Amino acid sequence: MKLRNLLTAASIAILPIAASAATFIIPAAGTGPGVNGSQWQSELTLHNTSTNTIIISMKFHDANGAAQSESVALAPRATITISDIVATRFGREAGTGAIELTVPDEMGNRVVINSRTFNSSSAGQFGQDVPAINVNDAATAGDTVVLQTPSSAVDNRFNFGIYAVTDATVRWDLIRADGTYVTSVEKSYAAGTQLQFNNGIVSLLGSTAENDDAIHALVTSGKVIAYGSAIDNPSGDPTVTAGIRARADIRVNFVGVDVAGNGSIDAADANHDGVLDEPVDLWLSGYPTYFRVVATGPNGEPVTLSFINPPDDAHFLPNSDAVQWYPNPAEGPMTTLKVLATYNGVSEVLTIPVHLH
């Protein structure tokens, strides 16, 4: 194992080091006709606070991934606005997607990005700002992104969507205002794809919208950016709904981790949020390390356990809740393992912080 790590380190050392870049995602931008005679377009405004010209790379992403690339040179202290960007820069007559903006890392805090999507009508323009989000702030496995729908389901329609920063799987849950769970749909998304679900409670979740519904997007693998948009039906005026990252109680009963394998729980999840309340202590002197992940369904049903992005040499023993792992000391004293627990087709993410000694 040590030889393999040395070879890997040597291979990395001889590779050229690429210049780093900061990447921002505008999760929703579009052009073309919409419901109730609406006519949509997006504009992008960029401002440079530095004394140097900045080259900004732009990519349009839709359900098929990155569709087209463009670049713009932003002069020192300058501001530019690109009107109807999806049509004028990415050549679409109609469509919705995400815009990826990449700038040199050292200039990441010197570019100000503003995005606006609006409906043009005979009564004027009705629009909303759609914030650009750094990919480092995307939701990851174990996060729940909450999208709150309008207080009036009759007067508004609610669209929501997702941009997959990496290959990802998301479980969409519909929760009524009184806390009643209605339904779940789990979907997988390829890296770089953007999908919007117009009237999504109907089109994706197969239900009827009610006042103050909440949509939970539980990320079970990968990294995503989720968003929503409430549109007033009479005027066509949209209001963006930012996805709020939160922790939610899980349905799986995550009892905890048994390090010694003697039936005693050494670290538990007492508050049922899927994260152990304290790190698991593992000693490297006992190579390999073994421990059990103790979990059941809400009524004692058996669960299937698997790692999400496992570290090297960590695996569950066949048909078992026992883990065999050769931790790499070079990773530092603290690390985190994420486990997918599935019962009756429902998956939850279990987070296990580990302290290596």
Structural domain of 231: 139-246
Task: Select from 134, 163, 191 the last residue of a domain.
Answer: 134
Q: Do 152 and 230 have their domain in common?
A: yes
Within a domain: 209: yes
Within a domain: 316: yes
Asked if 265 contacts 295 with a C-beta cutoff of 8 angstroms, the reply is no
Asked if 219 contacts 141 with a C-beta cutoff of 8 angstroms, the reply is yes
Asked if 355 contacts 280 with a C-beta cutoff of 8 angstroms, the reply is yes
Q: Do 83 and 118 have their domain in common?
A: yes
Q: Do 81 and 108 have their domain in common?
A: yes
Local confidence pLDDT in tens for the 357 residues of the chain? 333 333 233 333 333 334 578 999 999 999 988 777 778 899 999 999 999 999 999 999 999 988 778 899 999 999 999 999 999 999 998 989 999 999 998 888 999 999 998 888 777 777 788 999 999 999 999 999 999 999 999 999 999 999 999 999 999 999 999 999 999 999 999 999 999 999 999 999 999 999 999 999 999 999 999 999 998 888 888 888 889 998 888 989 999 999 988 889 999 999 999 999 999 988 877 667 889 999 999 999 999 999 988 887 889 999 899 999 888 777 778 889 999 999 988 889 999 999 988
Q: Do 96 and 165 have their domain in common?
A: no
Within a domain: 71: yes
pTM of the shown model:
0.81
Q: What's the domain count of the chain?
A: 3
Task: Select from 84, 100, 134 the last residue of a domain.
Answer: 134
Within a domain: 53: yes
Within a domain: 3: no
Within a domain: 15: no
Within a domain: 40: yes
